[in-house]
Amino acid sequence: MADKIKLLVAFLLVVLGIAGFYLLSGSPTVVRVLSVLAGVGLAATVAYFTATGKAFYSFSQDSVAEARKVVWPTRKETMQMTGIVILFVLIMAVFLWGVDSTLFWLVKLVMGRSE
């Protein structure tokens, strides 16, 4: 129950930040944006202290750790794969153009409209 109340408070803080953006319409844009950021920041802080927030934080830390384990391709590998993809797209475009033209010609022939 306490977690639900904390999440409700976090939601209300976001709403207050957005409301501040519109209520401060005469203020500079920086102040208006800071009101939204303050609302979101405070909401994130309150949400962190819930069970769901802590689980999300742990999940995000695990995600960052997994992203660091990724072996990214070298520039040469990237360029080679990009070239293969472009070549495949061009070949498929020519093939589909040929199929479309042939079917168009056959339909015209069957309908007796060949000129």
Whether residue 90 is predicted with pLDDT greater than 80 in this model: the reply is: yes
pLDDT tens digits for 38-62? 999 999 999 999 999 999 999 999 9
Read off the pTM.
0.56
Q: Could you write out the DSSP letters of every residue in 65-96?
A: HHHHH--PPPHHHHHHHHHHHHHHHHHHHHHH
Whether residue 114 is predicted with pLDDT greater than 80 in this model: the reply is: no
| Domain locations in the chain as residue ranges | 2-69, 72-115
**To which residue do tokens 């660091």 refer?**
68
User: pLDDT band at residue 115, thresholds of 50, 70 and 90?
Assistant: low
